[in-house]
Amino acid sequence: MLFEDNLTKQVEEIEALSAIYGDDLTVVDVTKRKYEIKITNGDETSKRKICLEVTLPEDYPKTSPPQYQIHAMWLSDDERRDIENSLADIFIENIGDSILFMWIEKIREFLQTSTNNTASVGASSINLETEESNGAQNDTPHNNEDETVQDNTDSSLAKEVDNLEIEYEYTKYKAEDKTKVEEELKCPEILHGEFIHDRKSFFQAHCAPVNSVKEVDLVMDKLLENRKIAAATHNMQAYRICQEGKKNDLWYQDCKDDGEIHAGNRMLHLMEILEVRNVLVVVTRWYGGIHLGPDRFKHINNCTRDILDLGGYIKNKAEKKGPKSGKKSKKDS
């Protein structure tokens, strides 16, 4: 019975992965439940890729992780060890759940980080070579000017000292200025909602008061410091900011789907209906391998409404209409 349950989950997971990754997922041996996934960083020009070969044992996902091999000749021992540790962490944190999708996306995240670091190192090397080349040209001696150079040594040295003092004061000023800005712009307090669980997928909403787009970025950065949130399938967001004016209010609002098409727009539309202001809502979804169809939008909307209600952003009808007129009050009395 346990094996049949595991086998059903495995079939459902592979079907979901096939729908997501298409030709990048290859069936190596269906009887041995052996598969291969080609993983890239999303850049077609990049030559770096990793092939993840997995075999699903009979007790996966209930108690055991998939057996796997990582094929990438360019990986160093430390990089390979980092990936293996990350995959082990994911399994430990999600025992009993289908984890292949999380494994694949974790490796893709590593590829993206690795590519960015390589590009930065390459740019630094080019700059260093250019500086050395320019320095070699500038250091070419001029024997016929030795006496002039000797005469100007003291004055040049004095100028360099002055320049260093000016540069120090400027750097000190910029550092103090940056510290003041960081103190003024602190990340708003974030409220986290309850989980909604449906067919192996989990949804959770987060909200925070925001008065500028910069604060929106601060909240998102803070949320993504959480490894589980950063590794989620989708982090959909919507915000509405109102700056009150003497004549008219100025509104700033936007949304992001993060891969879940139309989800951000639906969240923003609900926030408009509820007439909330100066708040950011983020709904995180961890996909569990089973398609939910339209139900996923129902859960996203429910998460959005619940977190806004929990945070006290939804006004009741009496607050929206304002106080009753005096005439009506007399009638009631």
DSSP string, 181-229: HHHHSPPPP-EE---EEETTEEEEEEEEE-SSHHHHHHHHHHHTTSHHH
pLDDT at 330: 41
The residue written with tokens 């304002």 in the block is 322
Architecture of domain 2-112: Roll (3.10)
Residue type, 46: S
Residue type, 97: D
| Class of residue 46 by CB neighbours under 10 A (exposed 0-12, middle 13-18, buried 19+) | middle
In order along its 333 residues, the chain shows pLDDT tens digits of: 577 888 999 999 999 999 888 989 999 998 899 999 999 987 666 678 999 999 999 989 988 889 999 999 889 988 999 999 899 889 888 888 999 999 999 999 999 887 676 555 555 555 555 555 555 555 545 455 555 555 555 565 555 656 555 555 555 555 555 454 444 678 899 999 999 988 888 999 999 999 988 999 999 999 999 888 988 899 999 999 988 777 777 888 999 998 898 899 999 999 999 999 999 999 999 988 888 888 999 999 999 999 999 999 988 655 555 544 444 444 443
What are the structural domain ranges in the chain?
Answer: 2-112, 191-319
State pTM to two decimals.
0.45
Identify the three-state secondary structure at position 315.
coil
Spatial CA neighbour of 16 closest among 291, 203, 232, 260: 291
Architecture of domain 191-319: 2-Layer Sandwich (3.30)
**Dihedral Cα 131, 132, 134, 136, nearest 10 deg:** 160
pLDDT at 177: 52
